[in-house]
Amino acid sequence: MKIIGIDPGTTTTGIGIIEFLYGNCSLIFYDALHLNSRDSLHSRLKKIYDECMNCIKKYKPDEFAIETAFYGKNIQSTLKLGQARGVAIIAALNSNLNIAEYSPREIKKSVTGRGAASKEQVQYMVKSILSVKRTKITTDSSDAIAVALCHYYSLQNNLKRHATAKKENTWESFIEKNPEKILLRN
């Protein structure tokens, strides 16, 4: 399974693609799309969309995960971030990918165990989880990779819960839990 993770922004957008195959996780691609703040917002949004589409076409991920917008004091920044998220999500929709969204706290907690972890702690753990030794990964790229890892962990937890729920809904589990309701014939 390949997962593309996006850390959206109108000046820097992080992109990370990971693959889980036979229980092993590997880093397929990562980049930080640096956008010129002097360019119009429209042209920057188009670049984000185009880069997302290029990565999706080239690496053919199965799932798409993106960080949700955080609400800062500057409403204009929040609106622009929402637009960057929107064009990335449209790229995923146009590619028929399942879309998942995670808050910054969820992402940090899934990778570091702490929802208030710093960008550097996230970067360190991403490199550790993926056994990346020398490669320089920017914090924007490591944040995007962390989004993809968070989605993978979420999918795994959902599968475990589903398997447990299925197991609990069998006749065998009913009998184990309710032995007094079993009538034995002589």
pTM for the whole thing?
0.84
pLDDT higher than threshold 80 for residue 29: yes
Q: How many Å from the N-terminal Cα to the C-terminal Cα in the chain?
A: 54
Catalytic residue chosen out of the listed positions 19, 67, 106, 143: 67
Catalytic residue chosen out of the listed positions 7, 51, 106, 143: 7
Domains parsed from the chain with CATH numbers: 2-181 (3.30.420.10)
Q: How confident is the model over 138-182, as pLDDT tens digits?
A: 999 999 999 999 999 999 887 666 566 555 667 777 777 777 767
Q: How confident is the model over 91-101, as pLDDT tens digits?
A: 999 999 999 99
Beta strands in 76-148 (DSSP E): 98-102
Q: Name the 3-class secondary structure at 65.
A: strand
CB atoms < 10 A from the CB of 184, how many? 4
Q: Is residue 143 flagged as an active site residue?
A: no
**Rounded to whole angstroms, what are the CA distances from 107 to 33, 59, 117, 123, 149?**
20, 23, 10, 12, 8
How far is the C-alpha of 151 from the C-alpha of 176, rounded, in Å?
A: 35
Catalytic residue chosen out of the listed positions 19, 63, 140, 143: 140
